[in-house]
Amino acid sequence: MTRRRIAVALATAALALTLAAATPRQAFAVGFVDKQVQAGSLLIQKYVNDYGVAHHFAYPPKSMVKKGGGLPSSTIIWPSNPWTGRVMGPGTSKGTYTYTLSASGLSYKLVVHLSSGDWRLSGGMPAWFKSERNTAARQNLLLLQRYVEAYAATHGGAYPAPDDVTTAMFGTSYVWPQNPWAGVDMIAGETLGEFRYTGGGATYALKVMLTTGWSATLGPVPVIGMLSTSPSG
């Protein structure tokens, strides 16, 4: 083999080794940066979860999930996008994220955009917490029903009008039920723990908003008759 052929062979071999070595290093570098993106998104998820715990598992709106958006502790440290060196924020390019809040506000999805594909995180109200709060709301509704029935007993059998089923009407004589989600007086409304009262006069319908929707409707309690609690002779 001539000296020229030997030189060409050695150069070709060196180029092949260089290309073979470069590909794994590049893949490793991309993977490492994506791991940094994932780590940053876990910090954002922590801020979202902290907010949820402090608000009875009602998660923050989209406008808050960014640097300076008002999430607890987020002013201390907020992750950067390692691909750009800037603050990690909402978007669709690599190193950004998409945050989506459910219609009920009780769950969310956090989709993190990597160099190739997405990484999905999510969170929501624990099942045990939903059950506990729904049970408390139903019990409060039964208490409210007793107040409505007591009103009728002192008003010739006529049930109160919707505008009269308020703390102002009953609060001085009764302990008004609390909304288990908000920790405030139960009021008429359309959100969790709030009630809907319709009717008045001869009849009424009463229900409360649960995580599964409106509860079963309560109505007038039939008068069966007086039951004696005295010991029999």
pLDDT tens for residues 56-73? 899 999 999 999 999 988
Mean pLDDT of 173-182: 88
**Is residue 83 located within the same domain as residue 119?**
yes
Mean pLDDT of 170-197: 90
Mean pLDDT of 204-209: 98
- Of 4-18, 95-109, 139-153, the poorest mean pLDDT is in 4-18
**Is residue 22 located within the same domain as residue 46?**
yes
| pLDDT tens sequence across 86-118 | 999 999 999 999 999 999 898 999 999 999 999
Q: Which of 124, 155, 180 is a domain's end point? A: 124
Percent of the chain with pLDDT over 70: 83
- Of 29-38, 104-113, 163-172, 224-233, the poorest mean pLDDT is in 224-233
pLDDT at 25 over 70: no
Question: How high is the pLDDT of residue 222?
Answer: 84
- Of 23-27, 176-180, 208-212, 215-219, the poorest mean pLDDT is in 23-27
Q: Provide the number of structural domains found in the chain.
A: 2
Does a structural domain hold residue 193?
A: yes
Question: How high is the pLDDT of residue 74?
Answer: 86
- Of 7-16, 165-174, 215-224, the poorest mean pLDDT is in 7-16
Does a structural domain hold residue 233?
A: no
The answer to whether 42 and 36 have CB atoms below 8 angstroms apart is no
**Is residue 157 located within the same domain as residue 63?**
no
**Is residue 88 located within the same domain as residue 21?**
yes
**Is residue 8 located within the same domain as residue 120?**
yes
**Is residue 104 located within the same domain as residue 10?**
yes
Mean pLDDT of 42-50: 96
CA 133 → CA 71, 86, 108, 186, 189, distances in Å? 25, 42, 20, 13, 17
For the entire predicted model, the pTM comes to: 0.64
DSSP characters over the chain: --HHHHHHHHHHHHHHHHHHHHHHHHHHHHHHHHHHHHHHHHHHHHHHHHHHHHTTTPPPPGGGSSTTS--TTTTT---EETTTTEE--BSSSTT-EEEEE-TTSSEEEEEEE-SSSEEEEEEE--HHHHHHHHHHHHHHHHHHHHHHHHHHHTTTTPBPPGGG-SHHHHTTTS-PPB-TTTSSB--BSSSTT-EEEEEEBTEEEEEEEETTEE-PPB-PPP-------SPP-
Does a structural domain hold residue 222?
A: no
Does a structural domain hold residue 150?
A: yes
Euclidean distance between CA atoms 31 and 115, whole angstroms: 8
**Is residue 85 located within the same domain as residue 162?**
no
**Is residue 72 located within the same domain as residue 172?**
no
Q: Would you call 56 exposed, middle or buried from its count of C-beta atoms within 10 A (0-12, 13-18, 19+)?
A: middle
Euclidean distance between CA atoms 71 and 49, whole angstroms: 10
Euclidean distance between CA atoms 109 and 130, whole angstroms: 19
- pLDDT-derived band of residue 29, with 50, 70 and 90 as boundaries? low
**Is residue 114 located within the same domain as residue 8?**
yes
Does a structural domain hold residue 220?
A: no
**Is residue 103 located within the same domain as residue 140?**
no
Does a structural domain hold residue 80?
A: yes
Q: Which of 95, 124, 153 is a domain's end point? A: 124
**Is residue 111 located within the same domain as residue 8?**
yes
CA atoms within 13 A on the CB side of 11: 6
**Is residue 118 located within the same domain as residue 149?**
no
Mean pLDDT of 25-32: 67
Residue with token string 């997405």:
118
Q: Which of 124, 156, 187 is a domain's end point? A: 124
Question: How high is the pLDDT of residue 8?
Answer: 43
Does a structural domain hold residue 186?
A: yes
- pLDDT-derived band of residue 27, with 50, 70 and 90 as boundaries? low
Does a structural domain hold residue 219?
A: no
Tokens coding 19: 């290309």
Tokens coding 117: 């594909």
The answer to whether 197 and 206 have CB atoms below 8 angstroms apart is yes
* Containing structural domain, residue 148: 128-214
